[in-house]
Amino acid sequence: MTPPARSALAEFLGTGLLVAVVVGSGIMAQSLSPQDVGLQLLENAIATVFGLGVLITVLGPVSGAHFNPVVSLADWWQGRRTRTGLTARELAFYLPAQIGGAIAGAVLANAMFARPAVSWATTERAAGHLWLGEVVATAGLVMVVFCLVRAGRTAVAPVAVAGYIGAAYWFTSSTSFANPAVTIGRAFSDSFAGIAPASVPGFVAAQLLGGIIGLLLVTGLFGRPTAGVAQEAVMAHPGEHTGHHPPQERTSKR
């Protein structure tokens, strides 16, 4: 069992570094390819895919590598009956750590490129088709994560989750923020990856709706979680697969 403070630190670092990757690579892309928005998006997406995969691999054993309030809320909601997800107390640690980490990551990226620590984004992203894109992106992310959990295939989460996000950069109209904490963080940088503060509430609402739809789809595919049947964590934690406990006693508690 990982102490909540240690898990919260992992979520803070993971979300912060993820936002630093997204915002920093966006700033770099603008510098390297100032006249080609498509190339900027490609550069931004590639950096995000590699960065996210590494962060899930490195920090997953500590906190489950959520880095996303929607994933944490879904984990808590789905595990209430079976007591295999986050507890309410753990959730209270995760959410502020993720949001605080996202803001810190944006500030760090700004500083690395000699920009003001906080430069409010001016890119407006408020339209029905963009919100629909966020619903689709977030529902798909929740499906990927929790289908892997229910199928006992969380070992491939770094590749599967990063691969999905990389694809969603291109097939969704919103370029797949799919994460309320990251959305808030990106408002702190007026760069390629930024989102105007006034556009944040609409994106977050769409992401929460997408999370609900994603969980409903997972339930439709796998049925409701059964009480007394252990499930894997989003990423396995130390000791969960080492033979220290009988299989029936393993849980996904973080």
Q: Is residue 47 part of a domain?
A: yes
The domain in which residue 169 lies consists of 4-241
Is pLDDT above 70 for 169? Answer: yes
Is pLDDT above 50 for 241? Answer: no
The DSSP H or E segment spanning 165 is: helix 157-171
Strand partners for 119 = 189
pLDDT in tens, 109-130: 999 999 999 999 999 999 999 9
Q: Is residue 138 part of a domain?
A: yes
Please name the amino acid found at residue 182. V
Cα(34)–Cα(31) distance, integer angstroms:
6
Q: Is residue 252 part of a domain?
A: no
Is pLDDT above 80 for 184? Answer: yes
Cα(10)–Cα(94) distance, integer angstroms:
9
Q: Which of 20, 245, 192 is nearest to 117 (CA)?
A: 20
Count of structural domains within the chain: 1
Q: Is residue 249 part of a domain?
A: no
Q: Which pLDDT score is estimated for 240?
A: 41
Q: What is the CATH number of the domain that holds 23?
A: 1.20.1080.10
Cα(190)–Cα(119) distance, integer angstroms:
5
Q: Which pLDDT score is estimated for 3?
A: 85
Taking a C-beta distance cutoff of 8 angstroms, is the pair 177, 135 a contact?
Answer: no
pLDDT tier at 247, thresholds 50, 70, 90:
very low
Token pair recorded at residue 113: 């490129």
Mean pLDDT value across residues 202-206: 98
Q: Is residue 254 part of a domain?
A: no
Cα(147)–Cα(124) distance, integer angstroms:
33
Token pair recorded at residue 162: 């990063």
pLDDT in tens, 42-93: 999 999 999 999 999 999 999 999 999 999 999 999 888 777 889 999 999 9
The pTM of the full predicted model, rounded to 2 decimals, is 0.88
pLDDT tier at 2, thresholds 50, 70, 90:
low
Taking a C-beta distance cutoff of 8 angstroms, is the pair 180, 111 a contact?
Answer: no
Cα(182)–Cα(123) distance, integer angstroms:
15
Q: Is residue 248 part of a domain?
A: no
**In the chain, how many H helices and how many E strands?**
8, 0
Q: Is residue 205 part of a domain?
A: yes
Cα(191)–Cα(13) distance, integer angstroms:
22
Q: Is residue 19 part of a domain?
A: yes
Cα(97)–Cα(23) distance, integer angstroms:
19
Token pair recorded at residue 244: 């220290």
